A and B are shown apart, each in its own frame.
Chain A
Amino acid sequence: QSQLQESGPGLVKPSETLSLACSVSDGSITSNSYYWAWIRQPPGKGLEYIGSMYYSGSTYYNPSLKSRVTISVDTSKRQFSLRLSSVTAADTAVYYCARLYSYGYPRYFDYWGQGTLVTVSS
């Protein structure tokens, strides 16, 4: 059973870059069955899929965030990361990392981290 855990600053200044990491407990980070994903949830709102990365290096980014997002995977550390540049108050949210099961196409998020609140404020 895979466990995921987010880490990173809880407060980021406007115009700076938000950086988060997600640690994966098992070796599934090298499996060809999964993408490694980031999802966020602004306070009181719904889920927004930010993007994901496959172990091979291919990525998907939400078109609304694509110009500001970078997701990377470090299999040696069993970690994947999110960088979101030029943040504003609208980027304040709980950020979740998740494992995205893929068979034929990316299907469902089967394991989630507990989430970490990131506030954008000066």
Chain B
Amino acid sequence: QSVLTQPPSVSGAPGQRVTISCTGSSSNIGATYDVHWYQQLPGTAPRLLIFDNNNRPSGVPDRFFGSKSGTSASLAITGLQAEDEADYYCQSYDSSLSGSVFGGGTKLTVL
């Protein structure tokens, strides 16, 4: 069982908007530690998608948007494209474990 909770799957049609939630607790997201998101395309290594809640590394389209509130965070993807079909993971720091923790991952299917 992961420290951060994500829905196992989400789906959407091309052009639509989808959101992926990431729920934590008072020892991680709720303790004001930042949330980061990774995209893992099939058969490849994860890549950093969003860092520090809502910042995009160079090269990440502005269709990807991160937010955080309380003990939860969300990743929103607008203008869904077939190439967005991937697994998405949230990650934060947990003070009770004194280390980084991942969510269980969410599989995005583009219909």
Contacts and interface: CB of A to CB of B under 8 A. Distances in A.
Q: Do A and B bind each other?
A: yes
A105 B51 contact: no
Secondary structure class of chain A's binding surface, majority of residues: strand
B47 interface: yes
Interface centre among A51, A52, A105, A114 (most CB of B within 10 A): A105
**Interface bin, chain B:** 20 to 34
A108 B105 contact: no
Interface string B6-18: 0000000000000
Contacts of A112: 45-47
Contacts, number: 61
Interface in B31-86: 33-34, 36, 38, 44-48, 51-52, 57
A60 B99 contact: yes
Interface of A: 37, 46-49, 51-52, 60, 62-63, 96, 100-101, 105-110, 112-115
Q: Which 8 A-B pairs have the closest CB atoms?
A: A108-B36, A46-B105, A112-B45, A60-B99, A47-B102, A108-B51, A46-B104, A115-B45
